[in-house]
Amino acid sequence: MKAEQLAVIIPTAQKKPELLRELLSSLSAHGVGEIIIVNTTYEPVGWLLPFRPRQRGVLASCLEPFNWSRVNNIGASFVKDASLLGFLNDDLQVSQDNWLETLLEAFDDPEIGGASPVVQLPDGSVPGPAVQLDLEKRTFVASQKVEKGIFPVQAIAGPALFMRRELFEKVGGFDERFQFTYSDGLMGLSLGRLSRVVVHGDSWIRHFERSTRGPDNPEDARLFKQIFPFLPEVKNKEKKMSFIEEFNALAFDIHKTACEKGWWEKERNIGECIALMHSELSEALEAMRAGNPPDDKVPAFTGVEAELADVIIRIMDFAFAKNLRVAEALVAKSEMNKSRPYKHGGKVF
């Protein structure tokens, strides 16, 4: 794969300008086809202009609260002709003249969809060139294996990710629900379901980790823990799921769809969400009043069936978004009701 076919996306807060200058010079020297720099601060970026490559350079801005996934997705939206994408942090230091040329050799194999160099810390240590799922710890752990040449891994992750553009777009980009962490590893897993993912053991780059951003967001870890049981790699290895796990798995899918369709771009009003659940019940009543005809969107089901399904969909979407244990409460309430007296509460109906 030639560097001319590559577009590199670099979000920057301009906290390490000397590293960014060096990185841009290296990319230009390799003849990278497109470089997209996404400025995440109000600081002027004019000093970056001399470092645009001769081929094509773009300066974009994203002045929202920093979200690693979002700024990289924004950068990717500016890519014009490249068939390969590289996502680089701005705190990388070139430690090998031919690092990029060597890495791109991996993509000469059409079955390889994602690749990463070996990332080295300033003290010379290598925390792991890739990640893998740990079913016991229920998280990502660094894969310590480092070999010569191109070798397979479960998932690439970290500050230097390269992938085929068609696969990035097929996956839907980075998951913007994660602010700082996990979305790179999730992207690596997604690529691994569609292609081979590898690390090139002869391509090295140095990473000044966390030098250009703040601490991790604990919400990222909470969300990852929530979705972990429903990752295909986990579901295929663990025991058959209980009702609660199945319910939560479906709630995850429902909420993910709602996010993709734009319904959670901003924090939603709780009262509004609950009122919309009521509205679906009202529509079920109206369907019954109309004779319960086939639903206009899913005609294999009656109007009442479809509207009651919409009630449950809204409840599951809301429950997942707010981390509410509705499935567990459903099981507990069902068991509790078995112990209640006949027509408990003294009510007529």
Nearest to 104 by CA among 206, 34, 37, 203: 203
Q: Is the pTM of this model over 0.75?
A: no
If one compares 5 and 146, the residue with the highest pLDDT of the two is 5
Phi and psi at 215, nearest 5°, equal -70, 165
| Residues composing the chain | 349
If one compares 274 and 241, the residue with the highest pLDDT of the two is 274
Binned at pLDDT 50, 70 and 90, residue 116 comes out as very high
pLDDT at residue 43 in the model: 77
Mean pLDDT of the chain: 88
Compute the average pLDDT of residues 129-135: 84
pLDDT at residue 220 in the model: 92
Is residue 171 within 8 Å of 191, Cβ to Cβ? yes
Compute the average pLDDT of residues 71-96: 94
Is residue 102 within 8 Å of 162, Cβ to Cβ? no
Residue 241 has pLDDT above 70, yes or no: no
If one compares 21 and 76, the residue with the highest pLDDT of the two is 76
pLDDT at residue 53 in the model: 45
Residue 33 has pLDDT above 80, yes or no: yes
Residue 239 has pLDDT above 70, yes or no: no
Compute the average pLDDT of residues 193-211: 90
Is residue 165 within 8 Å of 82, Cβ to Cβ? yes
Binned at pLDDT 50, 70 and 90, residue 347 comes out as confident
